[in-house]
Amino acid sequence: MAKKLISFLGTNAYLHTIYTIDNFKSEPVRYIQEALAKYQCQNWDENDEIIIFATTGENGSIVKNWESGQLNTHDKYGLSYEKEAKGLKEILDSLNLKCNITMVPIPDGILENEIWKIIENIDNVIEQNDELYIDITHSFRYIPMIIPAMITFLKTTKNITLKAIYYGAFEVLGSPFEITKLELEKREAPIRELTELYKMIEWSEATNAFLKYGSGKRLINQVNSIDKKDMDKSSTNILRALTSKVKKVDNALKFNNIQELNKDKIEIEKRLDTTKHPNLFALKKLAPLLEDYLTMWSDDELKNGLNAAKWSLENDRFAQALTFSQEALISYFCKLFPNWDSQNIEHRSSVSFVIQIALGKKEINEHSKKDKSWFKDNIDDILLKLSEIDREILEDFLKINYWRNIVNHAKQGDRKNMQKEFPSILDNLIKYFSK
């Protein structure tokens, strides 16, 4: 793992500017990379690196601004301040930093294959678990399009951590011509930290992981990463409530524990104040999706189980869908039968058998528990209860029970037919029990 400052060098004759960020204020510099190196890299060691991407060719930034420098001839203050223009390489070397300084040649990126070459070059200099600081101030106009995609890609392939995205807001001072007329001490431009903007992608990915796959870990991490300093009590309370509910649903779906799901009303969007806390913008916009998802659950265990099965099926979790539907139906029947307990393993394992008795597929005396009081004393009432349920529903339960055993125990079976039939059976169960 290493810290790496990634920056792009352009071809312009840059004007001297004083850059500020946090409590840091640079002296007048032509290259923002010099200011960032002094701000960010002073305490870096030999494992860390400043990497400058510069374009090749006789008019490229390697010639114009890396190997040698160029002064703007209209800038009388700059000309007097730096009489002999130095290239960025010489300037960075003069800082005597402990970290490595590397220049990577890249093409202009005019052609599509050149853009892919730039992407490849960026990927080549990044190692597993690197911490990235990225400067896009003087990059080509398409580079800001590449950077978010590259960050997402590198998070997946190399587990990088994005620490900062920097942009030197030089244009706040006016046009380049207007700036040449400004005295050096008046050329003060802020370095914007744009990392929060990339977090919109992270918020979307985390929310998507929760809504589609039931995994709330990333969403909880996103909420926990919010800077809550000076945040009003209403916002902090709703964030706390949100993480609690996400964790609850995450655990319920993770462990097929539908008893933990219930109808929790939560008003996220209404209670987040983006006028006071603009960093909550992404969450506020995603809030309606989260509210719908968190309130789709019911206080009815059977309904929750079938909904969880439907959700699992829609997100290609076939085995889990079978498990949710089977377990929910077993609990329903146990509660329906006199003196049966939905938490009792013996009772749960006997549901399939008594349904087969009701359908004429088994005899009472075939059951291993035929002499147990909970079984023999209530069998007539149980069969009466089952006679009130459509035969098709009972047949569907037996199919689900059979399929679940095939899938969960890696047995041989017609999986193709199973995938074809189960969705319509599940829809039929949801409609039947919703009545």
Model pLDDT, residue 262: 72
Model pLDDT, residue 393: 95
In a domain, 279, yes or no: yes
In a domain, 303, yes or no: no
Model pLDDT, residue 427: 95
In a domain, 273, yes or no: yes
pLDDT confidence band for 253 (50 / 70 / 90): confident
- In DSSP notation, 373-399 reads HHHHTTHHHHHHHHHTS-HHHHHHHHH
pLDDT confidence band for 360 (50 / 70 / 90): very high
What rounded mean pLDDT belongs to the chain? 90
Same domain, 235 and 352: no
Q: Which of 100-104, 305-309, 407-411 has the lowest mean pLDDT?
A: 407-411
Helix axes 318-336, 415-434, angle to 10 degrees: 40
Same domain, 111 and 216: no
- Between these two residues, 232 and 140, which has the higher pLDDT value? 232
- Between these two residues, 165 and 230, which has the higher pLDDT value? 165
SS3 80: helix
Same domain, 45 and 187: yes
| Percent with pLDDT over 70 in the chain | 99
Last residue of a domain, one of 193, 224, 244: 193
- pLDDT by residue (tens digit) across 332-352? 999 999 989 999 999 999 999
Using alpha carbons only, give the angle 55, 56, 58 rounded to the nearest 5 degrees. 120
The CA–CA distances, whole Å, from 274 to 218, 279, 420 equal 22, 7, 47
Could you count the other beta carbons within 10 Å of the beta carbon of residue 135? 25
Q: How far apart are CA 185 and CA 18, in angstroms?
A: 7
Residue 278 has pLDDT above 80, yes or no: yes
In a domain, 304, yes or no: no
Model pLDDT, residue 295: 80
The CA–CA distances, whole Å, from 242 to 44, 207, 271, 282 equal 38, 12, 11, 15
Residue 264 has pLDDT above 80, yes or no: no
pLDDT confidence band for 265 (50 / 70 / 90): confident
- pLDDT by residue (tens digit) across 87-131? 999 999 999 999 999 999 998 877 788 889 999 999 999 999 999
Same domain, 51 and 185: yes
In a domain, 147, yes or no: yes
Q: How far apart are CA 119 and CA 146, in angstroms?
A: 8
Same domain, 257 and 168: no
The tokens for 422 are 């189960």
The tokens for 276 are 């006071």
In a domain, 422, yes or no: yes
| Percent with pLDDT over 90 in the chain | 62
pTM of the model: 0.77
The tokens for 358 are 């009701």
Task: Please state the rounded mean pLDDT for residues 152-171.
Answer: 94
Residue 316 has pLDDT above 80, yes or no: yes
Model pLDDT, residue 263: 67
Model pLDDT, residue 197: 85
Q: How far apart are CA 216 and CA 407, in angstroms?
A: 26
In a domain, 181, yes or no: yes
Q: Which of 70-79, 117-126, 364-373, 404-413 has the lowest mean pLDDT?
A: 404-413
Same domain, 247 and 119: no
Q: Which of 116-130, 190-204, 243-257 has the lowest mean pLDDT?
A: 243-257
Chain position carrying tokens 């007048």: 28
Same domain, 188 and 76: yes
Q: How far apart are CA 340 and CA 347, in angstroms?
A: 6
Same domain, 171 and 232: no
- pLDDT by residue (tens digit) across 29-54? 999 999 999 999 999 999 999 999 99
Same domain, 349 and 243: no
In a domain, 299, yes or no: no
Q: How far apart are CA 287 and CA 289, in angstroms?
A: 5
Last residue of a domain, one of 193, 227, 259: 193
Same domain, 271 and 330: no
CATH code where residue 7 lies: 3.40.50.10640
Same domain, 177 and 225: no
Model pLDDT, residue 10: 92
- Between these two residues, 182 and 372, which has the higher pLDDT value? 182
Residues 6+ apart with CB under 8 A from 142: 109, 115
Last residue of a domain, one of 142, 168, 193: 193
Model pLDDT, residue 276: 84
The DSSP bridge partners found for residue 51 are: 6, 102
Residues 6+ apart with CB under 8 A from 73: 79
Using alpha carbons only, give the angle 159, 164, 166 rounded to the nearest 5 degrees. 140
Domains: count for the chain:
3
Q: How far apart are CA 318 and CA 252, in angstroms?
A: 17
Using alpha carbons only, give the angle 42, 94, 172 rounded to the nearest 5 degrees. 70
Same domain, 158 and 30: yes
**Residue range of the domain that includes 364:** 313-434
Residues 6+ apart with CB under 8 A from 81: 16, 28, 184
